[in-house]
Structure 1
Amino acid sequence: MSSVLITGASRGIGRAIAIELAGRGHRVIATARRPETLADLPVDQRLRLDVTDQDSVDAALREAGEVDVLVSNAGATVRVPLESAPPDEVERLFRLNTLGPLRVAQGVLPAMRARGSGRLVFVSSIQGRLVLPLVGPYGATKWALEALAETLAIEAGHFGVKVSIVQPGVVSSGDGRPAKVTLPDGDPYTPLIGALEILRGAVVTRETVAAAVADTIEQAEPPLRVPVGAPAWEVLEARKSAPEDKPFLMREIDW
């Protein structure tokens, strides 16, 4: 079985991935900024790793030992219209969601390249291929992440390193519902909340995403992109076939 390092394993999708992979017999190295949050996970190692801190990444990789598979999952979002999105907050998201995965990938790639094998799995989103109102900063980080991941697939693929991008649709917040979007009273963009809820469609569970990640890791020839759940497949297919003269989904929003 593979030695798998997971970033952002303290909660949500990352925690579910750790549990799924451990249950399948893989050697799991679970990491988080606060390793005490990993105490109850049935994994082989629990390490501190902050993907935005190079020293933290270097220390975790030294302690982890050989890594066959990197699952880059650590990330965050913000729900706000772009007009009022604080630039510092957008920059923080890029450091965490885009540059963080690149930093950890750079750390594991030399050894993978040297031995001629390895897997990089990036947990993205359908928003890595389309945009939704009120979550534009998050979508931008995922578009950028997918560009980096596809570049790595070309560059590192020559050395036997396989790259996959997992694209869930809306993932439940734990109670079977998607996370809510709230705006201040009187915000002019409030009507978009209703539109966003309609466009989201059915949610998928964290466990469904975790199983998709595990299945991808265990495939001999995994695909580059792995949409998770029927809603993700449907919306991404609709995006492919949509005309390019207007932003996708613009016609669906009734102000």
Structure 2
Amino acid sequence: MSSVLITGASRGIGRAIAVELAGRGHRVIATARHPRDLADVPADLRLPLDVTDQASVDEAVGAAGEVDVLVSNAGATVRAPLESVPIAELENLFQLNTFGALRVAQAVLPAMRERGSGRLVFVSSVQGRVVLPVIAPYGASKWALEAIAEGLALEAGHFGVKVSIVQPGAVSSGGAERAKAFFADDDPYLPLLRQVGALRGESVTPEEVATVVADTIEHPAPALRVPAGLPAEKLLRARKDAPDEIPFLPARLDW
């Protein structure tokens, strides 16, 4: 069984991944900004880890021992039109969703490269391939994450490190409900915000995503991109088949 370090394991998808992997007999290293939130997460180790803080990353990876697999899951989202999203909020998203993921990957990669084996699994989103209105700031951070992950696959694959990107669609984890929104009372983009639910489509559970992540970890030759659930598969297929000449939308918008 593998030794798996999970970022953002205190709730939602990360917690479900810890439960699934522990049930399969893997050594689980659960991490979160606040270790108290990991008290009831099944894990061999529970460590504080803030992916936006280099010292925190270095300390956690040092305390984790050998890491066979990194599941990079920590992330957040916002709702805002690009015309008015606060740049500071966009920077925060990239620090967490994109730079934070790379920061932890950089910390575990040297040992994996020296061993000639290891796995990096990035929990992305269909929005790493599909832009949705008023969620585009989040999508931008995931598009960038997927470019980083693909680059790592090209570079580190030479040393025996396998990289996969798991792409859920809407997930019933509460993340969307917790998202900060930046709209004025008379914001002209409010009609789009009201239709976000329909655009995101049918949701899957965190447990369904966790099963896909665990299966990807255990697959001898995992794909680079792995849709998590039938809704994600359908949406990504539709995006692939759509012409690039016009912006793609998964559903009709009525203003």
TM (normalized to structure 2)?
A: 0.95
Identity %: 71
> In structure 1, what is the equivalent of residue 151 of structure 2?
151
> In structure 2, what is the equivalent of residue 76 of structure 1?
76
User: Any idea what the Cα deviations from partners look like across 1:166-196, whole Å, max 9, x if unmatched?
Assistant: 000000135xx96388644322111113432
> In structure 1, what is the equivalent of residue 28 of structure 2?
28
What SS is found at the alignment partner of 2:17?
helix
Cα distance in structure 2, aligned partners of 1:230 and 1:144: 24
* Superposition map of 1:43-192 within 5 A: 43-173=43-173, 179=177, 183-192=183-192
Cα distance in structure 2, aligned partners of 1:228 and 1:244: 24
* Superposition map of 1:11-22 within 5 A: 11-22=11-22
Displacement after TM superposition at 1:227 (Å): 0.4
User: Any idea what the Cα deviations from partners look like across 1:125-164, whole Å, max 9, x if unmatched?
Assistant: 0000010011111000000000000000010001100000
Partner letter of residue 170 of structure 1? A
User: Any idea what the Cα deviations from partners look like across 1:72-114, whole Å, max 9, x if unmatched?
Assistant: 0001111111122100010011011000010100011111001
Unmatched 5+ stretches in structure 2: none
What SS is found at the alignment partner of 1:144?
helix
What SS is found at the alignment partner of 1:83?
coil
Q: Residues 178 and 37 from structure 1, CA distance in 2 versus in 1: closer, same or farther, beyond 3 angstroms?
A: closer
Runs of 4+ in 1 over 4 A off after TM superposition: 180-184
What SS is found at the alignment partner of 2:83?
helix
* Superposition map of 1:213-228 within 5 A: 213-228=213-228
Displacement after TM superposition at 1:251 (Å): 8.0
Cα distance in structure 1, aligned partners of 2:176 and 2:149: 26
Partner letter of residue 84 of structure 2? S
> In structure 2, what is the equivalent of residue 38 of structure 1?
38
RMSD: 1.6
> In structure 2, what is the equivalent of residue 253 of structure 1?
253
> In structure 2, what is the equivalent of residue 206 of structure 1?
206
Cα distance in structure 1, aligned partners of 2:101 and 2:92: 13
